[in-house]
Amino acid sequence: MELVHLTQFEKRKKADLLVLPFWKGASRPEEATTYKLQIPLLTAVLKMGDFQGKEGEVLFLYAEGQAESRIALLGLGPKDKMTLESLRKSYGALSKACLAKKFKTLNVAVPLSDRLTDQERMAGVAEGLLLPNYVYDRLKSPNPEDADEAILLQKVTFISDDKNALEHAEEVAAICDGVDYARDLINGNADEVTPQYLAQCAHGLAKEHKQIKTTVFDKKRIEKEEMGLLLAVNRGSALEPAFIIMEYKGNPKSSDHTVIIGKGITYDTGGLNIKPTGGMETMKCDMSGAAACFGTLLAVCNLGLKVNLTAVIPATENSVDANSFKPGDVYRSYLGKTVEMMNSDAEGRLVLADALAYACQKLKPTRIIDLATLTGAIEISLGSEASGIMSTDDGLANALMEAGEQTFERLWRMPLYDEYKERLKSDIADFKSWNGRSASSCVAATFLKFFVEDTIPWAHLDIAGTAYVTEPKKYMPKYASGVGVRLLVEFLKRLPVSKRS
């Protein structure tokens, strides 16, 4: 999308729509900018109460004698209750309405408010417009007669006195590019988005961005590294696994190093504990953690952040075959510890375990954050309103939760009680992989904790309820949300400067 900035309202150029924001006043809507139009229709609408300025309220008017074909009155809600999130929601409602009307070009008057900084106001407006401006329709045949065919916004001109407005909007656009990259990976066919495809994407990012170095372990190298749990999950698949490492050195002089690990199960049948009908059809999304890592790395490159970041993706299908690993058998992990496989549908923790142990031993991380669509229980607990976080470090957990509040990719902390370890004791191996439904999100995280060195701060984000939604929400489209990208970028931007240099 092309982004433009104007400081003079009178110099705006031709567009499909002019957007004027309003606060919800005590008796009638109040202008949220100093820009005013003196046209009878607008005056009559405001006087008659046809538009009240409620949060997310959109009313389209015909524009006579203006540079635009239409005018949109956009409600922001009460002025004293405006937040970054309320701005996102209001402009998200506008963006969706524009998509329905098939508008391509907008002139947007940016609201004034002392409740947020200039950067926050532009972020709220831009995120609200850009995050819904996405559709995954590449698998549909072109049909000129399809009235519902999506037409996305192509150009937005922001009208604001803030001289840095375009810079702020372009920063948001750079992050949203990462979000859309993640969405495309998740929404794609599982037969296309394979472990080998993810490896190609990793090499592609390295080719496009010189700051990235990509290393991919094929099956022979994975066998040499003795990643027994990743290999066990892969046994039932006709496709070989891939262990992907993408390194970004934005601050080579610093030893501070964040490692993010994404669960890369490109399709999950459940293995021999096969999923029932209704439980498998969306399982192409089981690599959403991996997709978030890809999107985060792309956004970090786009922004040129002065951080050192490595993304690790253990990728494989969890399929069904005569060679599938058998529940009840024992396999040895990269760490050397043995695991009694109790349920083949608890495969995500297995591939993550090898990746966590490898990262601790080989990558010298300052901190590790993993993202995974790990347990259905977290969706039962939190729905799609928040992801679960389990962490061994209060500072890391708090920093991630603060970033989550800023981006509204919220996190809710769940416990890692020592008592959960008792549920993973095995008579024939070092650990069990699974112990039933009770506290299953926390027990799964406890299993992962076995593979993380005590001296390394670690956080596990269970995004099973937030990564893939079957109905559009606020400013998020249906299906893949790209959750995790904005959260991680905000976290990385907030790292203390002393840790960057």
- Give a yes or no: residue 326 inside a domain: yes
C-alpha of 308 from chain center: 20
Is the pLDDT at 149 greater than 80? The verdict is no
pLDDT number for residue 501 = 57
Per-residue pLDDT band for 232 (boundaries 50, 70, 90) equals very high
Any known ligand binding at 449? no
- Give a yes or no: residue 167 inside a domain: no
pLDDT number for residue 499 = 60
pLDDT tens for 365-380 read: 999 999 999 999 999 9
Averaged pLDDT, 268-274: 97
pLDDT number for residue 75 = 97
Which of the following is catalytic: 275, 421, 499, 500? 275
Percent share of the chain, pLDDT over 70: 98
Averaged pLDDT, 442-469: 97
Percent share of the chain, pLDDT over 90: 90
Is the pLDDT at 1 greater than 80? The verdict is yes
Least confident of 37-51, 122-136, 167-181, 338-352: 37-51
Please count the residues of the chain: 501
Same domain, 341 and 299: yes
- Give a yes or no: residue 501 inside a domain: no
Same domain, 127 and 253: no
Same domain, 231 and 374: yes
Same domain, 45 and 135: yes
- Give a yes or no: residue 465 inside a domain: yes
CATH number at residue 402: 3.40.630.10
**pTM (predicted TM-score):** 0.96
70 is catalytic: no
Q: For 304-347, where are the alpha helices, taking DSSP H only? A: none
Is the pLDDT at 145 greater than 80? The verdict is no
Is the pLDDT at 141 greater than 70? The verdict is yes
Would you call 397 helix, strand, or coil by DSSP? helix
Q: Which domain holds residue 107?
A: 2-140+151-161
Is the pLDDT at 321 greater than 90? The verdict is yes
Same domain, 155 and 200: no
Of residues 146 and 67, which shows the higher confidence score? 67
Give the single-character DSSP code of 473: B
Domain final position from 111, 129, 161: 161
Same domain, 155 and 191: no
Per-residue pLDDT band for 46 (boundaries 50, 70, 90) equals confident
Is the pLDDT at 146 greater than 80? The verdict is no
pLDDT number for residue 38 = 81
Any known ligand binding at 263? yes
Q: What is the mean pLDDT of the chain?
A: 95
Is the pLDDT at 463 greater than 60? The verdict is yes
Which of the following is catalytic: 349, 367, 432, 449? 349
Residue pair 494/400 in contact (Cβ under 8 Å)? The answer is: no
Is the pLDDT at 137 greater than 80? The verdict is yes
275 is catalytic: yes
Same domain, 257 and 207: yes
pLDDT number for residue 416 = 97
> Which candidate, 424, 412, 479, places its Cα nearest to that of 449?
424
pLDDT number for residue 364 = 97
Q: How many CA atoms lie within 13 A of 322 on its CB side?
A: 0
Residue pair 33/21 in contact (Cβ under 8 Å)? The answer is: yes
- Give a yes or no: residue 320 inside a domain: yes
- Give a yes or no: residue 311 inside a domain: yes
Is the pLDDT at 285 greater than 60? The verdict is yes
Residue pair 485/191 in contact (Cβ under 8 Å)? The answer is: no
Identify the bridge partners of residue 155 per DSSP, sorted by sequence position. 2, 105
Task: Print burial letters for 469-493: b (CB count within 10 Å at least 16), e (below 16).
Answer: beeeeebbbebbbbbbbbbbbbbbb
- Give a yes or no: residue 168 inside a domain: no
Same domain, 241 and 355: yes
Domain final position from 126, 161, 196: 161
Any known ligand binding at 321? no
pLDDT tens for 194-212 read: 999 999 999 999 999 999 9
Per-residue pLDDT band for 118 (boundaries 50, 70, 90) equals very high
Residue pair 368/491 in contact (Cβ under 8 Å)? The answer is: no
Per-residue pLDDT band for 147 (boundaries 50, 70, 90) equals low
Same domain, 192 and 157: no
- Give a yes or no: residue 170 inside a domain: no
CATH number at residue 29: 3.40.220.10
pLDDT number for residue 370 = 98
Please state the φ and ψ torsions of residue 157, each to the nearest 5 degrees.
-105, 120
Same domain, 197 and 246: yes
Any known ligand binding at 370? no
Count structural domains, the chain.
Answer: 2
DSSP for 475-493 reads: TB-SEE--TTHHHHHHHHH
Averaged pLDDT, 20-34: 93
Any known ligand binding at 268? yes
Same domain, 237 and 293: yes
Same domain, 102 and 226: no
Is the pLDDT at 469 greater than 70? The verdict is yes
pLDDT number for residue 472 = 87
- The amino acid that residue 484 corresponds to is G
Is the pLDDT at 40 greater than 90? The verdict is no
Identify the bridge partners of residue 3 per DSSP, sorted by sequence position. 156
pLDDT number for residue 498 = 58
